[in-house]
Structure 1
Amino acid sequence: MRYRLKKEKNYSYIEEGEGQPIIVLHGLMGGLSNFDAVLHYFGGKGYKVIIPELPIYTMSLLKTNVRSFAKYLHDFIAYKGLDNVILLGNSLGGHIGLYHTKLYPAKVKALVITGSSGLYESAMGGGYTKRGDYEVIKKKAQDVFYDPAVATKEIVDEVYETVNDRNKLIKTLAIAKSAIRHNMAKDLPNMNLPVCIIWGKNDTVTPPDVAEEFHELLPDSELFWIDKCGHAAMMEHPEEFNKILDEWFQKRKL
């Protein structure tokens, strides 16, 4: 990560650029560096890109849920004095963005979701009975992507460390249960704001029909596909992801 992590009050975040604020929300096993290309590209194009570290493993177990993370995001937005933000979330981050929009619609100008949970989760936090086996964890990390080479040793090591930390594993399982409990199907038809859905055609975590269901349920959404792409389009095809998003922003005058 080439950017300095700011630590203020209870928040750690990266910030780049000036202009329309975009708050980027990482996933359960996702780091801030997953969005390097987004930060670099849009931070230089009239946007203020902010990536907070979400308190996925630092909240009490009782507060380790989608609703609490949405409230944390609300407090962060208030702390930064922001309004009319664009939320961009991958996986669990997309779910947090959606749930935040349900609770605090006046704060959000538009949403961007990619590989988002909220309708269907394929064993998020499950299948870690062999978590001590590095090769098994490596295969699970690789399966997130269409191209297994995207799962670098650094990414695999981080996942391995997470699932072998008992506290983190318990919280991962709590988040998985919370994601199912906080299903968004009934809420999406009431979200009358522009939503950009960018999805990998080969996503096995949140398969393509999940994207189609999001598109069907959200009143003002557009769906874009990226071919030969898994669960994290902004990592696997950063240039195509940024191009789609930039053109959507221009079309929607965002």
Structure 2
Amino acid sequence: MTHRLKKEKNHSYIEIGEGKPIIILHGLMGGLSNFDSVTAYFSKKGYKILVPELPIYSMSLIKTNVKSFAKYLHDFIAFKGLEDVILLGNSLGGHIALYHTKMYPEKVKALIITGSSGLYESAMGSGYTKRSDYEVIKKKAQDVFYDPAVATKAIVDEVYETVNDRNKLIKTLAIAKSAIRHNMGKDLPKMETPTCIIWGKNDTVTPPNVAEEFNELLPDSELFWIDKCGHAAMMEHPDEFNQILDAWLTKRNF
């Protein structure tokens, strides 16, 4: 991680830049550093970038669910005294952004989702029965990306450590069940928040038809594709991701 983590009250987060607030929400297995390129780019473009560390493994098991994380985000926004926030989420982070917007639409100016859960989850959190086998975990980590080389040893090691920690594995499975339980198919048509959908054409975790369904159901959304790209577009094609998002924010005057 290239930025210092601030720790205040019960919040740990990165904050960089000044201007309109963009809150970035990481995924289930995603670290804050996954968004380094986004943070570096937009913090120089008149935005205050905030990347909270979501309490995925620190909440009690009964609160380990999408709704509780959305409430945590609401508390973070209140703690920072923010209004008219832009939420950007990948995978589970996208789902949390969507659920938060459903609960507190007055707080959110715009949404950006990429590889988001909320409509469909391809075995999220499952398939770890051979979790002690490093090569199996390495293959699962590589499958997230179009180019397996993006799954560096550091990324594989982090996933391996997570699934071999019994407490973390139990929480991971609880979140996976919660993501399915908190399906947003019926909620999306009522959500008027402008939404930018950026999706990898080769995403196998949340396939392209999921992006198309998000685009159909959300009343004010635009869908952008990135070719030769898997589940984490901001990591695999950071420059293209930033350019698409920058153009959309500019066009919408955000």
Shorter-chain-normalised TM-score: which range?
A: over 0.9
Distance 1:3 1:142 in 2: 26
Does 2:197 match 1:208?
A: no
Q: Secondary structure at the match of 1:209?
A: helix
Structure 2 residue 136 is matched with structure 1 residue 131: no
Aligned residue-pair number: 254
Cα offset, 1:193, TM superposition: 1.4
Identify the residue that residue 228 of structure 2 maps to in structure 1. Answer: 228
Partner residue, 2:217: 217
Write out aligned runs for 1:169-248 (5 A): 169-248=169-248
Distance in structure 2 (CA, Å) of the matches to 1:236 and 1:2: 18
Q: Secondary structure at the match of 1:213?
A: helix
Q: Which amino acid counterpart does residue 7 of structure 1 have in structure 2?
A: K
User: 2:158 aligns to what SS in structure 1?
Assistant: helix
How many percent of aligned residue pairs carry the same amino acid?
A: 84
Measured in 2, the distance between the counterparts of 1:154 and 1:73 equals 27
Unaligned runs of 5+ in 1: none
Kindly provide the amino acid, as one letter, of the partner of residue 251 in structure 2: K
Paired position in structure 2 for 1:93: 93
Mapping of residues 16-165 of structure 1, within 5 Å: 16-165=16-165
Q: Which runs of 4+ in 1 moved over 2 A?
A: none
Q: Is 1:13 aligned to residue 13 of structure 2?
A: yes
Q: CA deviation at 1:2?
A: 1.5
Secondary structure of the residue that 1:2 maps to in structure 2? coil
Gaps of 5+ in 2: none
* Cα distance, 1:118 vs structure 2: 0.0
Structure 2 counterpart of 1:251: 251
Q: State the match for 2:166 in structure 1.
A: 166
Q: Deviations over 1:195-235 (max 9, x none)?
A: 00000000000000000000000000000000000000000
SS in 2 for 1:125: coil
What is the identity, as a one-letter code, of the residue corresponding to 1:197?
Answer: I
The normalised TM-score by structure 1 is: 1.00
Tell me how far apart the structure 2 counterparts of residues 35 and 186 of structure 1 sit (CA, whole Å). Answer: 30
Q: TM-score, normalised by structure 2?
A: 1.00
Equivalent-residue separation in structure 2 for 1:64 and 1:217 (angstroms): 27
Question: Structure 2 counterpart of 1:72, which letter?
Answer: Y
**1:32-74 deviation digits (Å, cap 9, x = unpaired):** 0000000000001100000000000000000000000000000
* Counterpart secondary structure, 2:62: helix
Give the alignment's Cα RMSD to 1 decimal.
0.3
Find the residue that maps to 1:234 and give its secondary structure: helix
